[in-house]
A and B are shown apart, each in its own frame.
Chain A
Amino acid sequence: MSAEATPYGSRTSEFWRGARLSIPVVVASGPFAMLFGAIAVDNGFSVFEAFFMSLTVFGGASQMVGIELFGHHVAPWLIVLSIFAVNFRHVLYSAAVGRHLAHWPPAQQAVAYFLLTDPQYAFAESEAQKGRKVGFVWYMGAALTVYVSWTALTALGAFFGKLIPDTSALGIDFLLPIYFLGLVMDFRKRPLWLPIVAVSAVASILAYRFVGSPWHVSLGALAGVALAVILPPRHSGVGVGLAETEIEHLP
């Protein structure tokens, strides 16, 4: 089960098929990696410490928040809690993607979860949706491409931080929303897609206004997920279990 060559080509070609997917991610996240490195050094990190954070946390938004708090000399436990809060959405990814990784050996799964970012999750879901078995080599091709560029560019940004030009003119600050919109659109064939997007959008905007960042992510997402849970499962195109149907059709 474990050591089989993937059914869609050699290991090398599977790896590159995954790596190719990540090219836009590298383009969109690269500037942030460098920016993170530069800001980190600015806030009193050594180059190694900045690099080490990218290497171990590997979560762009949470690292930015963390570094910001470092600059304000906030209590350590509050920094850790904030990073946890920003990353909390991964709980949902992890719960949802587990179905597609369950056939791997545990050690491979443990590594895969470490590398589970927003785009990585979206790739795995859409691979499974195409009816393919999510392969470890393919997964690592996509994930390692981002991991290596993220950590290397962090170090580069930390070294050459002062040289980074005006990021606004280059549109760098808005590349990620554009990219995430593309990921949202990737799932538009799914049942209930539009209602879920609408509910999550409204809920996240309200939460952003009244609760504040980063909680708008988890609260907005939970609202969209709740909609799918509350509506009868047939709306979601879930292979309706016999028991469920019978109960619903009882007089």
Chain B
Amino acid sequence: MSTTFWITVAAAVATYLTRVGGHLVISRFERIHPRVEAGLNAVPAAVLTTLVAPAVLGAGPAEWAALIVALLVSLRGGLLTMFLAGAAVLIAARQFMG
């Protein structure tokens, strides 16, 4: 098997460890301290925000328009609706703003 193959296998093992590791560590404790629980409850907003924020800063007017429209739609509509609205604005805005 090629080097590429073995690097991929190692990368897959490393990735699986990140996906199962947090659970294996936490599950060793019998009771979860309220502060730890509060921290775990913060995980979705905290992590997902970091996938958006730097991209927003590095973007231009077309992307910002798309995000603002998507944001407004998300206050009322579901995930799919907001996503399609944002994508539509993005494609349209890029035709005009480049």
Contacts and interface: CB of A to CB of B under 8 A. Distances in A.
A248 to B, nearest CB: 11
A36 to B, nearest CB: 13
A176 B51 contact: yes
A228 B45 CA distance: 11
Chain B interface size range? 35 or more
Contacts of B15: 57-59, 62, 83-84, 87, 90
A240 interface: yes
B37 interface: yes
Chain A interface size range? 35 or more
B41 A236 contact: yes
Interface in A164-197: 168-171, 174-187, 190-193, 196-197
**Interface SS, A side:** helix
B94 A208 contact: no
Interface in B16-71: 16-27, 32, 34-57, 59, 63, 66-67, 70-71
A32 B82 CA distance: 20
B87 A178 contact: yes
B61 to A, nearest CB: 12
A76 interface: yes
**Interface SS, B side:** helix
A178 B95 CA distance: 18
Contacts of A136: none
A141 B49 CA distance: 26
Contacts of B63: 174, 177
B51 A217 contact: yes
Given A168-B94, A182-B83, A49 B74 contact: no
Interface of B: 2-12, 14-27, 32, 34-57, 59, 63, 66-67, 70-71, 74-75, 79-80, 82-84, 86-87, 90-91, 94-95
15 contacts: A49-B8, A83-B11, A84-B17, A94-B24, A96-B41, A114-B16, A114-B19, A178-B67, A184-B52, A186-B79, A190-B45, A204-B54, A205-B53, A225-B43, A229-B39
Given A118-B47, A191-B41, 12 more contacts: A53-B12, A62-B15, A90-B21, A91-B18, A95-B23, A96-B40, A102-B27, A109-B23, A181-B86, A196-B46, A200-B47, A235-B38
